[in-house]
Amino acid sequence: MMLTLGKKIVVAIDGSPQSDKAAEEAVRLASVSGDRFRSVVYAVFVLPPQESLVIDYLPDAAANPRRCGLRETKRRIFSVVEKVAGEVGVELEQMTVVGDPAEEILRVAEEKVADVIVIGSSGKGRLRRVLHGSTSAKVLQHSRCSVYLVR
């Protein structure tokens, strides 16, 4: 896949090795367009609703180690995409959203009018994929833009 003009690239990240590879690939795709046609990468981290409910009702970070733990987790999850984007000068926007991962990735892609979604292949085992489905499969099935699946 060769991108020659500036593109809006959504990359799903969750801290897994697959999402780190997807982040690196998204930045590589964005950097191909060069300085003349600037691309932007939207890195999306989706929190499950139950995680968010607990965090929303806890006191502020200074008094609550759980909230500090979430901040540290987000910092670690975004660290790979921040590092690679910074190294090549690609514009990066980080987003943390709450909800079903596939639905939220698709929503952000539509909201940003993305040209491509970059997503890592599922790390789930075969049984879990059959029972719960995989985020990447749902995104592939329902996306209105191109999807680049990174293995």
Whole-angstrom distance, CA of residue 119 vs CA of residue 135 = 9
Q: How many residues does the chain have?
A: 151
Q: Are 68 and 37 in contact (CB under 8 A)?
A: no
> pTM (2 decimals)?
0.82
**Along the 151 residues of the chain, how does pLDDT read in single tens digits?**
454 577 999 999 998 899 999 999 999 999 987 667 789 999 999 988 875 554 454 444 444 445 567 788 889 999 999 999 999 999 999 999 999 999 999 999 999 999 999 999 865 555 455 545 689 999 999 999 999 999 8
Domain boundaries, the chain: 8-150
State residue 2 phi and psi, 5-degree precision.
-120, 120
- Give residue 67's pLDDT: 54
Q: State the residue for tokens 């943390």.
A: 96
Closest CA relative to residue 80, chosen from 147, 21, 121:
21
What CATH number is given for 8-150 in this structure? 3.40.50.620
